[in-house]
Amino acid sequence: MTRKAYMIGTGVGNLAAGIYLIRDGGFKGEQITMMGLEDHGANDGAAVKDYQDEYGNQALSNSKGFLAKGGRMLNEETFENLWDVLRSVPSLDHPGQTVTDDILNFDHAHPTHDVGRLIDHNGPRVNPGKNNYRHMQFDNKDRYLLSKLMLMPEKDEEKLNNISIAEWFKSTPHFFTTNFWYMWQTTFAFKRASSAVELRRYMNRMILEFSRINTLEGVTRSPYNQFESIILPMRKYLEDRGVTFINNRKVTDLEFKDTPLQDDIIVTGLKYEEVDNDNKEGHIDIDENDLVFDTNGSITDSSSIGDFDTPFKENMDYAPSALLWKKAAEKFYSLGNPDKFFGDRSQSEWVSFTVTAKDHFLLNEIARITQQEPGNALNTWIESTPLLSIVVHHQPHFKAQKPNEAIFWGYFMYPRRNGDYVQKPVMEMTGKEMLEELLGHLAEVDPSKDNIKNHTKEIMDSIVNVVPVYLPYASAMFNQRAVGDRPDVVPKHSKNLAFISQFCEQPFDMVFTEQYSFRAAQRAVYTLLNIPLTEMTPMHHYEKNPKVMARATKTMFR
């Protein structure tokens, strides 16, 4: 009997697993079936009209413009698995090149250098003085606790079980007023309520970025949004080799073989619904020799979308991908605790918005006020009550974007709070009101006599759409957790089930990155196919590099 592999979810992790199966595991494409609710996942980006909700329904009445629920930053030095896999994937735009070539060539030609990373009531913190964003602003207590956290041995991580960043630094509230914290939290999406364990992992894995966090020079940008630059080439690679993709299929339950004491984990069947076909139910028999790869949690699950004139309506559904994990975890003690990540939205919720304009006037005004050109990373208004940030991409950000059009993205980390210029919670704002909130902050720091507020009508007339999105689980992988709350990629005693997502457990590496999903994919495939894990892609350990650590130490006192 020909061995088969079934992927639940068609995000970047399972796409990578499919490539590993073919490239390193000897699978033929026709042995692999990929099933998902849609084809965007967390690496999204598309014209608004192409978006559907989790049930296959058109999500928006106003289908103009473009939408990216989020934006992902890549890193050349620490995303080892991603670059390795994408070196096997042909470019869709440049024959003879790979996707790795595409991205790195673009990034090297358009390097990131952020000069307006933090903005306060005086404008970008770029001038000499104590508030210059180059200064970390630590005091000795801050330095001590941050160093103590970073230097904690990995074997002692359980000492941080269920401890938040706020609790770790409770004796020095000054830490949360520093330039470092404003930059770090909005670059990597940490909140005070986030897990101290994950901050420890980031400080080790990304220590190379610590000394350049103020300019984000370590950020690697893709030529277009990640869906077009990464996902589509990977799907094409797999489709060309005969992999079957089934969209709008929701796997609702995993069936397991009865084993003594329920020790062995053996999937024997999958139950599913066809969400675009009146929820027609179906079943797939799984042979014990077959493989099942489950995306046990997605940060874009249960999202809600509005438009220029319409606020979103909060989707209260438990994340569909995590619900499948929750059912499995109720049957086997070793499969973790999904409620830790999907049971408390206050730790993880964001609101993002995507602006599409029919000319470049607003983009040019943002560039003038922030003192940086499009493509140079991230601006954060540190005095914004809901903590507003924007990313102005290198243009065009979408292949279908017209030359005259301009697109950028922004987000609020605390959407339950009121705006500063629109007196209502971000959760209740329309897309237009979110743009008004941004324009208010821009106007406050505009040094020009011809202030941007004088051009409000001109700007509003130029807008094609502003699409707000509520993401209840945007940073759920950072929620407070304990050892054991995330299942191993291949759980103990599992014979044919693996988890690939931001919610499985791997040593050392850091969640909220494509690297984590790619590495989980390699670990899953190699483990289930008995390929020695010693042959996995080597990872860098910059935290053991004396020169890197010397620069980091110097930065602590900068």
How crowded is the C-beta side of 200, counted as CA atoms within 13 Å? 25
Look at residue 511 and tell me whether its pLDDT is greater than 60: yes
Q: What are phi and psi of 25, to 5 degrees?
A: -105, 0
Residues 6+ apart with CB under 8 A from 497: 254, 265, 266, 267, 292, 294, 490, 491
> Look-up: residue for tokens 């279908």?
400
Look at residue 53 and tell me whether its pLDDT is greater than 60: no
Confidence class for position 131, pLDDT limits 50, 70, 90? low
Segment among 119-133, 262-276, 364-378 with least mean pLDDT: 119-133
Look at residue 60 and tell me whether its pLDDT is greater than 70: no
The larger pLDDT score, comparing residue 63 to residue 113, is at 113
Look at residue 265 and tell me whether its pLDDT is greater than 90: yes
Residue 278, pLDDT score: 85
Distance CA 215, CA 46 (A): 28
How crowded is the C-beta side of 241, counted as CA atoms within 13 Å? 23
The larger pLDDT score, comparing residue 362 to residue 128, is at 362
Q: How far apart, in Å, are the Cα atoms of 264 and each of 490, 510, 527? A: 12, 29, 16
Q: What is the mean pLDDT of the chain?
A: 93
Catalytic residue at 202?
yes
Q: Which residues pair with 254 in a beta bridge?
A: 270
Of all residues in the chain, what percent are helix, strand and coil, respectively (each to 5)? 35, 15, 45
For 141-170, write each residue's pLDDT tens digit: 999 999 999 999 999 999 999 999 999 999
Highest mean pLDDT among 328-332, 374-378, 432-436: 432-436
Segment among 34-48, 264-278, 461-475 with least mean pLDDT: 34-48
Distance CA 36, CA 280 (A): 15
Q: Give the domains, in start order, of the chain with CATH numbers.
A: 5-45+75-107+223-304+318-338+479-535 (3.50.50.60)
Residue 38, pLDDT score: 74
The larger pLDDT score, comparing residue 470 to residue 41, is at 470
DSSP 113: -
Asked whether 338 and 326 are in contact (CB, 8 A), the reply is yes
Residue 42, pLDDT score: 76
Q: Is residue 128 classed exposed, middle or buried when 0-12, 13-18 and 19+ CB atoms within 10 A define those classes?
A: exposed
Look at residue 242 and tell me whether its pLDDT is greater than 60: yes
Residue 58, pLDDT score: 47
Task: Name the strands in the sheet holding 249-256, side by side, starting at the edge strand that comes first in the sequence.
Answer: 249-256, 267-274, 280-285
For 279-303, write each residue's pLDDT tens digit: 899 999 999 999 999 999 999 999 9
Look at residue 409 and tell me whether its pLDDT is greater than 50: yes
Look at residue 57 and tell me whether its pLDDT is greater than 60: no
Assigned token pair, 496: 């044919």
Distance CA 328, CA 336 (A): 9
Q: Do strands 291-294 and 497-499 pair parallel, antiparallel, or not at all (unpaired)?
A: parallel
Residue of 10, 62, 119, 59 lying closest to 378 (CA atoms):
119
Segment among 46-50, 257-261, 288-292 with least mean pLDDT: 257-261
Asked whether 350 and 471 are in contact (CB, 8 A), the reply is yes
Residue 55, pLDDT score: 43
For 184-201, write each residue's pLDDT tens digit: 999 999 999 999 999 999
For 77-106, write each residue's pLDDT tens digit: 999 999 999 999 999 999 999 999 999 999
Q: Which residues pair with 379 in a beta bridge?
A: 390
Residue of 9, 1, 16, 55 lying closest to 33 (CA atoms):
9
Confidence class for position 174, pLDDT limits 50, 70, 90? very high
Q: Which of 6, 20, 51, 202 is catalytic?
A: 202
DSSP 159: G
Segment among 28-42, 294-308, 347-361 with least mean pLDDT: 28-42
For residues 416-420, average pLDDT = 98
Confidence class for position 366, pLDDT limits 50, 70, 90? very high
Residue 260, pLDDT score: 72
For residues 401-426, average pLDDT = 97
Look at residue 179 and tell me whether its pLDDT is greater than 60: yes
